[in-house]
């Protein structure tokens, strides 16, 4: 066939880089960066290049599979969808709606069609046992936005292109290209920051790739970021370095702030956080003295013991220093499709604690329970026990805490159906696997990436490849399941469901996207976006308050649920970091530029080279234990143990070890040949689902107490 060249958008991470795809209509030949994209400007990371491998992957499932014994066999779509709907309806009709659990994985956030369609299925299922990757990711950030600004989708982002001082905690944007801060080619943006005389400071237990290019890096003990931030605020208030005049009319509760942080002096927290009091004061003063500054925290601050406090305190540092909603500070993007307005309209602002989990009494957020409750809700009998499960684009066995416990729970379910393109460590337990189209076979609009970008742009891509015969997009699967289940429930819904399905299918997500674009701040038509295949630059960030606050009208700077948690934080300053066993260590994660989710490991070009699933340990800790680099060690926690190779490196601070997530392949029944040949070990076999932030329910994946020893002969 004749080779074609098309323009698209990489959908493998938040950066949403523009790409040029060479293909023959059905198979990708080459992927490179689109130099005409006004946002990514030709940048592409190894994952984007490897999109060709994933798109062409012979291990991808392309027809529905039904499990028969230990084998999977292909069946027709109608048969698969009908069986899935029938089994779900049987479980719910017999045991109640909550007997069905739903888990949604991270890739769903990179499919606008799934995002806009999932709500219809959720309303049909009516289960309270919904879970997602959000509670091992950004839940604390979303919760704090709901508490402070009245809407989970109001997310402050560093104005990276104009700031003079960037303070980074628990994040590695050189590898992530920004997370809840879309910034393709972050390396060039950070070089530009320093070229204009700006300063980059990184606070992290590991001297990561971002710290390597920073002006300064400070080691910090895991899970003590909130103490550090409280000491920064203490210094700003004690030295009269606050600037609230401009935003004061929008603030509710600001008078209480100085008193809240009186106890958190740099001297008092220094021993716990591992940073000298003088250094803490210097950082606070430099931040305050900079013409513009922005404080940014990400995953490391969201998956720890004080996750909600961290997100709140980061915002307070930006607010009280006068760096909020202004050029060069922490600002709010104005995307062409306004997610904050959409969330307000459809009632998805991020309601909190309307119900709690059955077993551990963990709070709901935006209709979902924290994954810390996932396994126990399957294990414990009684009304509301999860007996059936629907997973969508997720591999919780490798991505959630205590993965082995989850595997045991999955194996005992009455029924499980997975919407996924791979037979992986999770979907191998499913009775049915329903594979959607993938990547370049469907249209793409980075609806989430635009909402958290460091510059306002808009980009839409039509499908690059022909849609394979006898295949369904993710939204078609979700809509079809909802319709079939609604018909089985009887009542008036039985008669309305077919007509509703016909209308929704005819309109499709494109109709919703058209409406969102026209109602957005610019406004734009989908036709205009289709005529601009490289994307459109909409300009730099600009102030959006107070209009953005909507019905709430004011910023709640001292939410009671957060201020009450300061007592727990103050008590933690009495000891140097989280409690750990004698001679023990604290485990943190890390991310690789060549990896994002576990399913990316089935690309040879992403896993080739030196083994990346290795445990990093400081030379002093290795010497104390008589360990040497290259040997296999046993990493043990309260919930399990794994064997991994050891690498000795001073890029982690003493007392801390680091292992990347997403590995642990090779289980029986999986079909990912490349990944299984580079199996590695799953860090989530030693993370503890009983350790979580009590405010948000988010699992503490960082600062896990562990021990390390040589593998016994």
Q: Which of 487-496, 558-567, 646-655, 684-693 has the lowest mean pLDDT?
A: 487-496
Helix (H, G, I), strand (E, B) or coil at 386: coil
Helices 225-238 & 277-289 angle (0-180, nearest 10): 60
Q: Among 343, 377, 396, which Cα is nearest to 134's?
A: 396
Q: Among 380, 434, 576, 513, which Cα is nearest to 74's?
A: 434
Delineate the domains of the chain, giving CATH numbers in brackets: 4-56 (2.20.25.90), 65-127+370-444+460-534 (3.40.50.740), 151-335+552-567 (3.40.228.10), 579-710 (2.40.40.20)
**d(C-alpha 192, C-alpha 226), whole Å:** 29
Q: Among 196, 174, 198, 197, which Cα is nearest to 186's?
A: 174
Q: pLDDT band at 459, cuts 50/70/90?
A: very high
Please report, rounded to a whole number, the percentage of residues in the chain having pLDDT higher than 90.
89
pLDDT higher than 60, residue 289: yes
DSSP 281-311: HHHHHHHHHSSS-EEEE-HHHHSSTTHHHHH
490 with 133: CB under 8 angstroms?
no
Q: How many helices (H) and strands (E) does the chain have?
A: 27, 28
Q: pLDDT band at 172, cuts 50/70/90?
A: very high
pLDDT for residue 503: 87
Q: pLDDT band at 1, cuts 50/70/90?
A: low
Helices 225-238 & 266-273 angle (0-180, nearest 10): 160
Strand partners, 158: 330
360 with 369: CB under 8 angstroms?
no
**d(C-alpha 302, C-alpha 309), whole Å:** 9
**d(C-alpha 214, C-alpha 191), whole Å:** 10
**d(C-alpha 598, C-alpha 446), whole Å:** 21
pLDDT higher than 60, residue 580: no
b/e string for 212-222 if b means 16 or more Cβ within 10 A? eebeebbbbbb
Q: Which residues contact residue 473 at a Cβ distance below 8 angstroms, ignoring those fewer than 6 apart?
A: 113, 436, 437, 442, 467
pLDDT for residue 27: 95
Q: Cis (ω within 30 of 0) for the bond into 314?
A: no
3-state SS of 39-58? CCCCCCCHHHHCHHHHHHCC
Task: Output the pTM of the full model.
Answer: 0.97
Q: pLDDT band at 582, cuts 50/70/90?
A: low
329 with 347: CB under 8 angstroms?
no
pLDDT higher than 60, residue 579: no
**d(C-alpha 503, C-alpha 621), whole Å:** 63
**d(C-alpha 281, C-alpha 300), whole Å:** 22
User: 137-147, pLDDT tens digit by residue?
Assistant: 999 999 999 99
106 with 137: CB under 8 angstroms?
yes
Output the six-digit token pair for 374.
């996932």
pLDDT for residue 490: 81
């Amino acid at each position: 066939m004749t080779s074609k060249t098309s323009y698209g958008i990489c959908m493998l991470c938040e950066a949403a880089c523009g790409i040029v795809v060479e293909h023959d209509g059905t198979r990708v030949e080459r992927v490179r960066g689109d130099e005409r994209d006004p946002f990514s400007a030709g940048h592409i990371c190894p994952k984007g290049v490897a999109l060709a491998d994933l798109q062409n992957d012979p291990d991808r499932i392309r027809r529905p599979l039904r499990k028969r014994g230990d084998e999977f066999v292909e069946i027709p779509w109608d048969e698969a969808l009908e069986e899935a709907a029938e089994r779900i309806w049987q479980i719910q009709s017999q045991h109640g709606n909550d007997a069905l659990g739903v888990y949604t994985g991270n890739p769903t956030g990179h499919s606008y069609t799934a995002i806009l369609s999932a709500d219809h299925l959720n309303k049909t299922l009516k289960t309270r046992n919904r879970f997602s990757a959000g509670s091992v990711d950004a839940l604390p950030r979303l919760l704090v936005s709901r508490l402070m600004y009245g809407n989970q989708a109001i997310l402050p982002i560093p104005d990276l292109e104009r700031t003079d001082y960037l303070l980074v905690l628990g994040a590695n944007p050189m590898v992530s290209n920004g997370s809840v801060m879309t910034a393709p080619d972050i390396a060039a943006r950070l070089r530009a920051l320093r070229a204009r005389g700006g300063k980059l400071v990184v606070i992290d237990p590991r001297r990561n790739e971002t710290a390597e290019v920073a002006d300064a890096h400070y080691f910090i003990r895991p899970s003590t970021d909130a103490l550090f931030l409280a000491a920064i605020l203490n210094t700003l208030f004690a030295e009269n370095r606050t600037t609230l005049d401009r935003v004061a009319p929008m603030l509710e509760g600001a008078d209480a702030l100085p008193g809240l942080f009186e106890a958190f002096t740099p001297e008092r927290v220094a021993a716990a956080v591992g940073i000298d009091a003088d250094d803490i004061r210097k950082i606070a003063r430099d931040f305050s003295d900079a013409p513009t500054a922005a404080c940014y925290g990400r995953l490391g601050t969201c998956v720890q013991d004080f996750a909600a406090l961290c997100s709140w305190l980061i915002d307070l540092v930006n607010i009280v220093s006068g760096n909020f909603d202004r050029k060069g500070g922490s600002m709010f993007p104005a995307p062409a499709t306004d997610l904050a307005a959409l969330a307000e309209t459809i009632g998805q602002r991020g309601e909190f604690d309307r119900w709690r989990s059955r077993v551990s009494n963990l709070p709901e957020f935006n209709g979902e329970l924290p994954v810390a409750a996932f396994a126990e809700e399957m294990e414990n009998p009684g009304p509301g026990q999860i007996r059936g499960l629907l997973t969508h684009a997720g591999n919780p066995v490798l991505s959630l805490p205590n993965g082995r416990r989850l595997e045991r729970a999955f194996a005992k379910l009455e029924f499980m159906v997975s919407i996924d393109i791979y037979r992986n460590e999770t979907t191998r337990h499913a009775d049915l696997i329903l594979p959607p189209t993938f990547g370049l076979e469907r249209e793409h609009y980075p609806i989430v990436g635009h909402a958290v970008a460091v510059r306002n742009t808009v980009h839409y891509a039509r499908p690059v490849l022909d849609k394979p015969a006898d295949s369904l997009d993710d939204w078609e699967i979700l809509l079809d399941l909802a319709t079939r289940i609604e018909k089985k429930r009887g009542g008036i819904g039985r008669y309305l469901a077919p007509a509703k399905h016909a209308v929704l299918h005819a309109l499709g997500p494109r109709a919703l996207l058209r409406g969102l674009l026209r109602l957005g701040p610019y406004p734009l038509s989908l036709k205009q976006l289709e005529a601009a295949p490289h994307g459109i630059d909409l300009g730099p960030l600009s102030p959006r308050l107070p209009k953005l606050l909507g019905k709430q009208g004011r910023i709640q700077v001292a939410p009671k649920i957060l201020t009450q948690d300061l007592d727990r934080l103050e008590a933690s300053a009495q000891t140097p970091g989280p409690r750990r066993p004698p001679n023990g260590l604290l485990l943190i994660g890390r991310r690789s530029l060549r990896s994002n989710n576990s399913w990316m490991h089935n690309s040879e070009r992403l896993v080739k080279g030196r083994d990346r699933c290795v445990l990093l340990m400081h030379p002093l800790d290795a010497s104390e234990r008589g360990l040497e680099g290259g040997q296999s060690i046993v990493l043990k926690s309260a919930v399990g143990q794994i064997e991994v190779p050891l690498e000795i490196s001073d890029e982690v601070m003493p007392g801390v070890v680091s292992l990347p997530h997403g590995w642990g392949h090779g289980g029986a029944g999986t079909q990912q040949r490349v990944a299984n040949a580079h199996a590695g070990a799953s860090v989530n076999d030693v993370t503890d689902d009983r350790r979580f932030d009590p405010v948000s329910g988010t699992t503490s994946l960082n600062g896990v107490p562990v021990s390390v020893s040589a593998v016994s002969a």
